Chain A
Amino acid sequence: MSIGGEKGSASTKTPADFLKSIRGRPVVVKLNSGVDYRGILACLDGYMNIAMEQTEEYVNGQLKNKYGDAFIRGNNVLYISTSKRTLAEGSS
């Protein structure tokens, strides 16, 4: 028996399943320091190390930096959230 039962094949069951399902999606990654990273989630691993593309760094809601590719060390991650906003709209 898996958590969440057998029904709902589209829904994710475990945190790890969720992380697998959001690869390639636009995400917001918040770090313990409060800094936000918005970009496309390329991949991640069991340590929650994250590879992102077209990453924008927000400090106190202000865009501070852009990275073509970025590796974020997992121990700094507070949460990963999917964002509907596209990159063009994300800076507004």
Chain B
Amino acid sequence: MEKKTKRRDFLFTATYAVGAVGVGAVVWPMIDQMNPDASVKALASTEVDVSAVDPGKTITVLWRGKPVFIRRRTQEEIAEAKSVKLEELKHPEKDEDRAKNPEWLVMLGVCTHLGCVPLDQKGDYNGWFCPCHGSHYDISGRIRKGPAPTNMEIPKYKFVDANTIKIG
């Protein structure tokens, strides 16, 4: 028997297609309502005064509900961060690319494994150590040992003046 496309087949297909578009149009708002709302997005940037931070100290500020580490690194720490060979790194990044001004390291204090806050000046590389699942980061926030896949993230930031950093 020869199979012929009938007028009715066309009508069925057209009905299903319009129905699918209709269902999609109703379902999408139900899904999208869970994404960050306007009031959450409005808190996207924060300004920090760093004049009181001494070399070798880290302050933690809250940005978008997440901790941001701002560390004023000592000369030895900068030298150590720069001396690491890229081949030794799991996620190769130069220290220069992570700290525009080498004295200041500004990064999200969030372990890239499962989101815990790593502890300051701990671990095998004198940087940060995540207590949850044992990831070790160096003084540039780069992953050196443990389950985390990548280096700690560097947020968008800039120096508004010599003492003020704007994050976001």
Q: Do the two chains bind? A: no
B-binding residues in A (CB < 8 A): none
A-binding residues in B (CB < 8 A): none
